[in-house]
Amino acid sequence: MDKIYKVAIIGCGGISHMHAGWYVNEPRTEITAISDIDEGRLNAYGEKYEVEKQYTDYIEMLKTEEIDLVSVCTRPKHHAPLVIETAKHGVKGILSEKPMAENLGQGKAMLESCAQNGVKLAIDHQVRFSTPYQHARQMILDGAIGDIFRIHGICGGGDLKDNATHTVDLMLYLHDDRPVSWVIGQIERIGTPTKYDLHSEDFAVGYFKFEDNVRGIIESGNDTAPGYHHIYCYGTEGEIELAAPGGPSIRYRNQETGGAWETPELPPGITPVQDLINAIEEDREHRSSGHCGYATLELLMAIYESSRKRQRIQLPMEEMESPLTLMIEDGWV
């Protein structure tokens, strides 16, 4: 008989319902306890998902209940302290919302706390589990478009940390999470925009080089080319297009198709929760592991740092604070 993993959810706002859906539909999990500082929201959530054990203090919950898995679904500025503390309370896995953290210093502390306490950390870049991107990655690995040489991602209408974090993460995933050597970028910030309590920007563009010389281009904001997580993958013998505006979720063309676009059959998918359980039981990294989340956060921070320093930024980055925060504090943007 499969082990039943006891789940706690911290933060009962909008995004937490996606997490709850994954747990409700996974026979190996049960939502044991929930926590939120808003008692009214907490009670409503408990009633919706039939969870009796409700806490306004998440530490009290972790000390009182026997919990295996925790979803952190709060505003971004709370992700790091909650993950760092939760890892100390005997849990097996944590699924934390994106962006991973406000800055690289926080992200590194999250990785360290989870490593020290033997906890599997996953960052909820859930689009990695979308079957079109999953299939495209496998096609690239199988050489369906020859040798890939460029990936172009578009995230129209969103900022880097809230929306384009998914697009950048997908670009890294599509190229098998290979390391990035350097990043150059620029941002535009009009007024004082924020998103979910974090400083934001109106437009951003980044250009980066993977260690194997494959190039990436990311554009995000209010005046991009059309598309949302719209990604082109260019190879020496073909190309793949994902999330084409008004088109299919995935299409490709290569020598075998005679240059005509074709849409492949897609495999069944799994959820981030299913992969977290499998990662625990198989003692392996999650598809969207903390290390993958850190790599994505580092690329975003490098775009800000390049805009701040007006030069290419070599990775790994040295600056642990958010360069966007530093620019704002210095009155540059």
The per-residue pLDDT for range 111-150, each reduced to its tens digit, is 999 999 999 999 999 999 999 999 999 999 999 999 999 9
- Kindly state whether residues 135 and 257 are assigned to the same domain: yes
- Kindly state whether residues 102 and 168 are assigned to the same domain: no
Across the strands, what pairs with 207? 184, 217
Domain count, the chain: 2
- Kindly state whether residues 208 and 77 are assigned to the same domain: no
Instruction: Answer whether 167's CB lies under 8 Å from 220's CB.
Output: yes
C-alpha dihedral over 184, 126, 96, 219, to 10 degrees? 20
> Residue 263 maps to which CATH number?
3.30.360.10
**Residue range of the domain that includes 99:** 5-126+273-288
Residues contacting residue 290 through CB under 8 Å, at least 6 positions apart: 100, 110, 111, 114, 121, 122, 123
- Kindly state whether residues 246 and 311 are assigned to the same domain: yes
Instruction: Answer whether 294's CB lies under 8 Å from 107's CB.
Output: yes
- Kindly state whether residues 55 and 139 are assigned to the same domain: no
Instruction: Using alpha carbons, select from 296, 299, 290, 332 the residue that is nearest to residue 317.
Output: 299
Peptide bond into 248 cis (omega under 30): no
What is the distance between the alpha carbons of residues 104 and 234, in angstroms, rounded to a whole number?
31
Q: Which helix (H) or strand (E) holds 47?
A: helix 39-49
- Kindly state whether residues 263 and 164 are assigned to the same domain: yes
> Residue 32 maps to which CATH number?
3.40.50.720
- Kindly state whether residues 11 and 153 are assigned to the same domain: no
pLDDT one digit per residue (tens) for the chain, 333 residues: 689 999 999 999 999 999 999 999 999 999 999 999 999 999 999 999 999 999 999 999 999 999 999 999 999 999 999 999 999 999 999 999 999 999 999 999 999 999 999 999 999 999 999 999 999 999 999 999 999 999 999 999 989 999 999 999 999 999 999 999 999 999 999 999 999 999 999 999 999 999 999 999 999 999 999 999 999 999 999 999 999 999 999 999 999 999 999 999 998 999 999 999 999 999 999 999 999 999 999 999 999 999 999 999 999 999 999 999 999 999 999
- Kindly state whether residues 193 and 311 are assigned to the same domain: yes
- Kindly state whether residues 41 and 102 are assigned to the same domain: yes
Q: Is 89 exposed, middle or buried (0-12, 13-18, 19+ CB in 10 A)?
A: middle
Residue found under tokens 């240059």: 259
- Kindly state whether residues 222 and 84 are assigned to the same domain: no
Instruction: Answer whether 293's CB lies under 8 Å from 98's CB.
Output: yes
- CA-CA-CA-CA torsion sign (58, 36, 112, 134): positive
- Kindly state whether residues 194 and 247 are assigned to the same domain: yes
User: Which DSSP symbol is given to 143?
Assistant: T
- Kindly state whether residues 40 and 133 are assigned to the same domain: no
φ/ψ of 66, rounded to 5, equals: -90, 105
Q: Note the pTM of the prediction, 2 decimals.
A: 0.97
